[in-house]
Amino acid sequence: MGTTLALLPLLLLLLSLSIHVPCADAWGKEGHFMVCKIAEVLVFSISVAYLTENATRAVVDLLPPVAGGELAAVCSWADEVRFRYRWASPLHYANTPGVCNFKQSRDCHNAKGEKDMCVVGAINNYTSQLRSYGDNLTESLMFLAHFVGDVHQPLHVSFADDEGGNTIIVHWYRRKTNLHHVWDVSMIETAMKDYYNNDLDTMIESIEKNITDEWADDISSWETCNKRTVTCAADYASESITLACDYAYKDVEQDSTLGDEYFLSRLPIVEKRIAQGGVRLAALLNKIFDPLTSTIQIE
């Protein structure tokens, strides 16, 4: 993927997340907002098919009043209830035993070993809930929108030993932080500042422009997978651990200082993952709420 400026807006969005309480569990607030905003695409009329009218109506009907009709407004809700819903905290990520591949049977469980208690199991579960009109559909929708964002953050599918980079202390330019936080928040913040005039909408526009230009030919492959499972979430997790090894962990050790070289070579990854999260969330919501017109077939 190119390192064009167009990627930068995505980063900016991610940066704004950092105002939040330190959270080891997610893209920052901005990152999640961008993923959902891109999925909604209510702002721009782009040629790519995002949410269909039927799906948009179904989503808006399920949103809580506080959302004001906008999915992006409640995209970080799952982080806000982290302490109330302790059982859900393993659902934000998946860990591997120090290897650069994801195996659902091996890696998708909580600390008690309960199966499917990881981000991939959660995406499949909440998709099934919504498709079968289960209980608490509003919460299922808010969880789903959030976890589709999380599974695209490379360090949300990474090594158990370092807790997804949380125990790897680094300096982001001059500021002391940890590697996980760099990917959740710092890179987006720096991008916002350096390229997007600290304006999240500008960053989103830039990412959307890349979706319609640079990545236009890739979109159909983003939306599909060959697995006969509820969703393609296991594939997204496999992509993330590969990116974690090839980019996030690469050339980083305890007390590393990360600056321009790291930022400029990794920012395009962050922006592309936000774009993929948005496009795939839209595809999934279409598949759930508008199966007849969706390009994706339900098995």
Interface with Zn ion (CB under 5 A) = 25-26, 92, 150
Cβ of residue 228: shortest distance to Zn ion, in angstroms? Answer: 27
Cβ of residue 151: shortest distance to Zn ion, in angstroms? Answer: 9
205: left (phi over 0), alpha (psi -120 to 50) or beta: alpha
Cβ of residue 72: shortest distance to Zn ion, in angstroms? Answer: 15
CA separation for the pair 154, 242 (Å, rounded): 8
Return the number of the residue (20 or 131) whose C-beta is nearest Zn ion: 20
CA separation for the pair 288, 35 (Å, rounded): 18
Residue 272 belongs to what H/E stretch? helix 260-289
CA separation for the pair 121, 78 (Å, rounded): 15
Return the number of the residue (26 or 55) whose C-beta is nearest Zn ion: 26
251: left (phi over 0), alpha (psi -120 to 50) or beta: left
Return the number of the residue (150 or 235) whose C-beta is nearest Zn ion: 150
Cβ(234)–Cβ(116) below 8 Å: no
Return the number of the residue (90 or 262) whose C-beta is nearest Zn ion: 90
Residue 96 belongs to what H/E stretch? strand 94-96
Q: What is the DSSP letter of 294?
A: -
Return the number of the residue (92 or 273) whose C-beta is nearest Zn ion: 92
Cβ of residue 270: shortest distance to Zn ion, in angstroms? Answer: 16
Residue nearest to Zn ion as judged by C-beta position: 26
Cβ of residue 25: shortest distance to Zn ion, in angstroms? Answer: 4
